Amino acid sequence: MKRIYIFLLILGGIVPKSNAQDITDALRYSTENITGTARFNAAGGAFGTLGGDLSAIAVNPAGSAIFLRNDSSISFDVSNTKNAASYFNTQSNVNYTNANFNQAGFVFVFNTQKQDSDWDKIAIGLNYVTTQNFDQDLFVKGIGDTSIGNFFLQKAQGVPLDLLQLQGGETIPDLYSYLGENYGTNEQNAFLGYQGYIFDPVEPDNPNNNVYTSNIANGTFNQEYSYITRGFNAKYTFNFATQYKKKYYFGINLNSHNVDYSQFSFLRESNNNTGSTINYVGFENRLSVLGNGFSAQAGIIAKITPEFRVSATYTTPTWLTISEETTQFLETEIINGTNTEFLTINPRTVNVFYDYRLQTPGKIGAGIAYVFGKQGFITIDYEHKDYSNIKFTPQTNSYFAVQNTLINNTLQAASTVRVGGEYKYERWSFRGGFRFEESPYKNTDILGNTTVLSTGLGYDFGTISLDLSYSILSQSRNQQLYNVGLTSATTIDSNTNTFVLTLGYNL
């Protein structure tokens, strides 16, 4: 077959023709875990009815009108995540600690009360908050019963042999790039597997052969899998709120979202199975993601009595535009009689995908709070979010249509309950909270419910305040190593301990 090379030069890479996005990507950018200020975090994030905190604006935009004067704050957090993984009855533990700047903002309060007007206050605010921290380390090891070779074999079935073979003067980067531009990621992975001798064609002399057999015999496989993610999802908020008759508070947010995510995985596999001509495979994949988007929020808080308050909020879907880049390489060890040969198939090519659009689900919320004068409060917030409404767009794209159907069949509506309280003694404040969030999956074995316990304290110096909080987040999940072929899952119990320090300043 004569190949015609059409290279689209973007950042030195190529644009694969087929899509690689799936339900895992969609859910990653649709979930939130707002840490916010130390006060917000210590009280379980249950500030939708209280307001008066800059992170509360991220939950209910009406909350800024609760402020009595101009206010600003900046927050830093230190998190430690422990992932305990079980893979074929072998346990592995890994810890990762990171420090982040996670919140900053200010609000200006203008008293506008006039004799002929019931609108007596407006507030304008700007706030930055990290809505998701992607920093995770995972290490898995064990003796599995399925080889990574099955991943490459399944990718190859149906692909003509002619597409996988180098022709005169052709290099590995040449053909890898050609396949990405004209076919897609499946063909690229099949090419790596063929060049690494992981499988052979049934008819080696037929260029149209599209059936392959593995060179890795059945048996057991010593496997080690490293999985590292870094990055964040952040929200920049412009807020406007107003007070009516000193009893009702209305607010709106215009939000700009920013996604910065990277992922690294490396599988190392060895075997001594009789009949295998491949006894070692190393497979590396890297993913880099940048994205931006927009959403809006509206909220109301009502003082039923001086002590009792209720609230309601609505958040629109978030419309994201996402860019992705990937790199990968394969290494194998081949047994040829008494000789052993080590191969590295490294295309040294950056796959730059066409931008795609993702619509994450909107949500509704409500809450109640009881305020004990200046002594403290007890509050409960509730949110409802239907993850089955996540959509890749345009929906006319056949691949996205399949993924959207899978999302609709796999994900569900989930509720979140937050409970918080605060007690003040002189200039000290003591806080505690709890958050429970249902799994977005219908099958909770894939991803379990999330629970968060939190506590903290603060001291008011006057115009300056200092707050500290501690929280522990617990969640269990089953994570497949790959989406096809090697679909063995590891069971992961994850615990994240987070400390937040907030410096506040008001006038």
Please tell me the distance from the alpha carbon of residue 85 to that of residue 479, in angstroms, as a whole number. Answer: 10
Residue 12 covered by a domain: no
Per residue in 115-137, pLDDT tens?
677 888 999 999 999 999 999 99
Q: Which residues are CB-neighbours of 130 under 8 A, at least 6 positions away?
A: 34, 35, 100, 102, 103, 232, 233, 234
Stated pTM of the model:
0.92
pLDDT at 2: 46
- The backbone torsions φ and ψ at residue 158, rounded to the nearest 5 degrees and listed phi first, read 95, -10
183-188 long-range contacts (CB < 8 A, ≥24 apart) are: 183/17, 183/18, 184/16, 184/17, 184/18, 184/19, 185/16, 185/18, 185/20, 185/326, 185/351, 186/18, 186/155, 186/159, 187/155, 187/159, 187/163, 188/16, 188/328, 188/347, 188/351
Tokens of 51: 């307001």
Nearest residue to 505 (alpha-carbon basis) of 475, 449, 465: 465
Q: How far apart are CA 9 and CA 267, in angstroms?
A: 30
Residue 173 lies in a domain: no
Residue 195 lies inside a defined structural domain of this protein: no
pLDDT in tens, 204-226: 999 999 999 999 999 999 999 99
Predicted pLDDT of residue 9: 39
pLDDT tens sequence for the chain (507 residues):
445 444 443 334 566 655 668 899 999 999 999 989 999 999 999 999 999 999 999 999 999 999 999 999 999 999 999 999 999 999 999 999 999 999 999 999 998 776 677 888 999 999 999 999 999 999 999 999 999 999 999 999 999 999 999 998 899 999 999 999 999 999 999 999 999 999 999 999 999 999 999 999 999 999 999 999 999 999 999 999 999 988 999 999 999 999 999 999 999 999 999 999 999 999 999 999 999 999 999 999 999 999 999 999 999 999 999 999 999 999 999 988 778 899 999 999 999 988 999 999 999 999 999 999 889 999 999 999 999 999 998 888 888 999 999 999 999 999 999 999 999 999 999 999 999 999 999 999 999 999 999 999 999 999 999 999 999 999 999 999 998 999 999 999 999 999 999 999 997
Domain count of the fold of the chain: 1
- Per-residue confidence (pLDDT) for residue 399, from 0 to 100: 87
Give the model's pLDDT for residue 395: 82
Domain assignment of residue 94, yes or no? yes
Residue 466 lies in a domain: yes
- Domain holding 422, by residue range, is 24-146+217-506
- Residue 14: what pLDDT? 61
Query: DSSP letters of 482-499?
Result: -SSS---EEEEEEEEEEE
What does the alpha-carbon distance between residue 86 and residue 141 come to, in Å, rounded to a whole number? Answer: 8
Closest residue by Cα to residue 106 from 503, 488, 475, 480 = 503
* Residue 112 tokens, joined: 């506008």
In a domain, 2, yes or no: no
Percent of the chain that is helix, strand, coil (3-state, to 5): 15, 55, 30
Q: What CATH number does the domain containing 478 carry?
A: 2.40.160.60
Q: Could you tell me if residue 65 is inside a domain?
A: yes
Residue carrying the six token digits 């130390």: 38
Instruction: Tell me the residue type at 217.
Output: A
Is the Cα dihedral 332, 333, 336, 339 positive or negative? positive
- The strand pairing partners of 233, in sequence order, are 132, 259
pLDDT of residue 109: 95
CA dist 496 and 493 (Å) reads: 10
Which residue pairs from 111-119 have beta carbons closer than 8 angstroms and sit at least 24 positions apart in sequence? Answer: 118/244, 118/245, 119/242, 119/243, 119/244
Instruction: Please tell me the predicted confidence (pLDDT) of residue 16.
Output: 64
Residue 477 lies inside a defined structural domain of this protein:
yes
CA–CA dist 502, 507 (Å, integer):
17
* Residue 21 to residue 220: CA distance in whole angstroms: 31
